[in-house]
């Protein structure tokens, strides 16, 4: 049914719906990341962002994300990693996207990460983080969506692929 009408939300849900397309902007999309580790890719992605529109220095975000990554890998399989962190003082969620055509080696394995969604959420809203990660995982149930993200030629095309797919893939 969701394939026909789009995502169905719980009418008794107390928190407002969160959509990936609302938290991602073209200026937070980085294509062509080439790194030897996910940690390096995160630093490279943030380093290439002109202005991420964050209310704090990007180094603060990188530090929080890398601390979380050291504690537990955020590689979900199938070439997808979702590094994330909860940040004090953040008023809304931010989503970043990075893509590596060659792939980023996964520590301790033979797999490679091609698509990286970086999720930053307010410290006091753990449910928001979980819901965004669930939506990202939902996108990867569709090979069509995955292919569009892997072949998008511009940041705007990435945002459009997510926007158009989100309502039916999640």
Residue 39 belongs to a domain with what CATH number? Answer: 3.40.930.10
Residue 8 in domain: no
Residue 10 in domain: no
Residue 164, domain extent: 21-169
Domain count, the chain: 1
Residue 79 in domain: yes
Residue 129 in domain: yes
Upper half-sphere CA count for residue 151 (Cβ side, 13 Å): 6
Residue 16 in domain: no
Exposed, middle or buried, 53 (CB in 10 Å: 0-12/13-18/19+)?
A: exposed
Residue 7 in domain: no
Task: Look up the pTM and report it.
Answer: 0.84
pLDDT at 69: 86
Residue 3 in domain: no
pLDDT at 61: 87
Residue 53 in domain: yes
pLDDT at 19: 78
CA 19 from chain centre, in angstroms, equals 12
Per-residue pLDDT of the chain (170 residues; tens, 9 = 90+): 455 545 555 544 455 677 788 888 888 999 999 999 999 999 999 888 766 567 778 888 899 999 988 888 788 888 899 999 998 888 889 999 999 999 999 887 788 999 999 999 998 888 888 888 888 888 888 888 899 999 999 999 999 999 888 766 44
Which residues make Cβ contacts (< 8 Å) with residue 64, sequence separation at least 6?
A: 85, 86, 87, 120
pLDDT at 12: 45
CA 131, 88, 42, 53 torsion-angle sign: positive
Q: How far apart are CA 149 and CA 24, in angstroms?
A: 14
Q: How far apart are CA 90 and CA 120, in angstroms?
A: 8
pLDDT at 33: 94
pLDDT at 170: 45
């Amino acid at each position: 049914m969701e394939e026909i009408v789009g995502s169905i939300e719980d009418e008794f849900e107390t928190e407002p719906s969160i959509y990936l397309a609302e938290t991602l902007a073209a200026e937070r999309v980085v294509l062509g990341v080439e790194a030897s580790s996910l940690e390096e890719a995160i630093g490279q992605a943030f380093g290439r962002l002109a202005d991420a529109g964050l209310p704090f220095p990007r180094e603060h975000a990188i530090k929080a994300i890398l601390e979380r990554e050291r504690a537990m890998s955020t590689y979900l399989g199938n070439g997808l990693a979702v590094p994330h962190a909860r940040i004090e003082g953040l008023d809304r969620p931010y989503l970043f996207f990075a893509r590596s055509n060659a792939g980023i080696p996964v520590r301790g394995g033979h797999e490679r990460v091609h698509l990286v969604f970086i999720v930053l959420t307010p410290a006091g809203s753990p449910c928001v983080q979980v819901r965004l990660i669930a939506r990202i995982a939902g996108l990867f149930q569709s090979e069509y969506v995955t292919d569009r993200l892997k072949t998008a030629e511009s940041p705007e095309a990435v945002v459009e692929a997510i926007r158009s797919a989100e309502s039916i893939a999640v």
